Amino acid sequence: MVYSIGHVRLKNRFILAPMAGITDIAFRVLCRRYGAALVCSEMVNPIALIRENREAVRKASVCTEEKPVAVQLFGADARLLAKAASIVEKKGADIIDLNLGCPDIKVRKQGAGSALLKHPDRIRSIIRAMVKAVGIPVTAKIRIQDSNSDLHVAEAVQSAGAAAIAVHARTSSQMYSGKADLEAVRNVKENVSVPVIGNGDVQSRQDAEDMFRATGCDFVMVGRAAMGNPAIFAELQGNKVIPKHQMFAQYLELAEKCGCIDKARLKVHSCNFTKGLKGSARLRQRITSSNTVEDIKECLCFRSF
């Protein structure tokens, strides 16, 4: 079976969620290797990208092995987002996603992220401008509000020409607490014709089946369950579970190859990848007190397991 978002073909129905500080190139390649049909970058600030800020350029960069890949932008200015979308397209992204769900106060203060959910007309103008600026599909990732508002937002997204809509089934004020509201995803799915991506609390094959069955969504997006466990995408498709330390060794190798190793990021990843492993509390303590990337790598020889 072949699935698609716009003209982009996907080999299955499982997508890696955008996660700031987590979904760097190396991590995304690993998720693709383990079976994610589509991966997504961390959110990128369009102004920083247009100014060629190093960090923004790194976040918006993609490589051949991870394709198809989506790059996510956040912001509130249609002109800047359209310009940034065109840069992202030139850098090789297959899909551009607009963040309409970030609950972070700094992002909301700019009128971006979940602050836009209160303004379907602004959403429509922004997406229209982005769609006009590029030849690749534009998608949007929203959070839920109430059923009426969700439909207004979904209608704005669809009528502006977006190729799909991802629904994180929590409100902005819930942040990450409470249970994902599958009924809200179903409400959106029943009222749009573009593919809907259900997101929230999928941690197992059963959760994914529940999401598909309860909502009728076309794709399932996985966030936190992939942190430290890119092989979740193999598990979701009934394939073999991989030892976590093997995955971390692969991450390190890829991160070195892609030039995306940095100390803070490596600490976060190493803590995620070692969570639940025998003897890992001591290892994490050593990692957190390490001063250099080399020190961290030395801790991770896994001799202590």
Residue 101 interacts with ligand FMN (CB under 6 A): yes or no:
yes
Cα maximum dimension of the chain: 57
Q: Are 108 and 115 in contact (CB under 8 A)?
A: yes
Single out the residue of 29, 37, 38, 42 in contact with ligand FMN (rule: CB under 6 A): 42
Residue 202 interacts with ligand FMN (CB under 6 A): yes or no:
yes
Active site residue 63: no
Q: How far is the CB of 225 from ligand FMN (least distance, A)?
A: 6
Distance CA(46)–CA(25), nearest Å, equals 19
Residue whose CB is less far from ligand FMN, 24 or 201 = 201
Residue 99 interacts with ligand FMN (CB under 6 A): yes or no:
yes
Residue whose CB is less far from ligand FMN, 59 or 128 = 59
Q: Which of 183, 247, 243, 233 is nearest to 203 (CA)?
A: 233
Q: How far is the CB of 196 from ligand FMN (least distance, A)?
A: 14
Residue whose CB is less far from ligand FMN, 17 or 299 = 17
Q: Are 39 and 229 in contact (CB under 8 A)?
A: no
Sites for ligand FMN among residues 109-148 (CB under 6 A): 141
Sites for ligand FMN among residues 214-233 (CB under 6 A): 222-225
x-or-dash string of contact with ligand FMN, 159-188, rule CB under 6 A? ---------x--------------------
Single out the residue of 43, 123, 133, 255 in contact with ligand FMN (rule: CB under 6 A): 43
Residue nearest to ligand FMN (CB): 223
- What is the total count of residues that contact ligand FMN (CB under 6 A)? 22
Q: How many CA atoms lie within 13 A of 26 on its CB side?
A: 22
Residue whose CB is less far from ligand FMN, 106 or 278 = 106
Q: How far is the CB of 227 from ligand FMN (least distance, A)?
A: 7
Residue whose CB is less far from ligand FMN, 175 or 304 = 175
Measured distance between the N- and C-terminal CA atoms of the chain, rounded to whole angstroms = 41
Q: Is 18 helix (H, G, I), strand (E, B) or coil?
A: coil
- Produce one character per residue of 122-151: b if its CB has 16 or more CB atoms within 10 Å, e if not: bbbbbbbbbbebbebbbbbbbbbbeeeebb
Burial class (CB in 10 A: 0-12, 13-18, 19+), 188: buried
Sites for ligand FMN among residues 266-305 (CB under 6 A): none
Catalytic residue among 102, 217, 258, 299: 102
Residue whose CB is less far from ligand FMN, 124 or 168 = 168
Q: Are 162 and 140 in contact (CB under 8 A)?
A: yes
The residue to which tokens 């769609």 are assigned: 131
Sites for ligand FMN among residues 3-22 (CB under 6 A): 17-22
Partners of 221 in the beta sheet?
A: 15, 199
Here the tokens at position 22 are: 């987590």
Single out the residue of 103, 137, 195, 200 in contact with ligand FMN (rule: CB under 6 A): 200
Q: Which of 72, 17, 42, 30 is nearest to 265 (CA)?
A: 42
Binding site for ligand FMN (CB under 6 A): 17-22, 42-43, 72, 99, 101-102, 141, 168, 199-202, 222-225
Q: Tell me which residues are annotated as active site.
A: 102
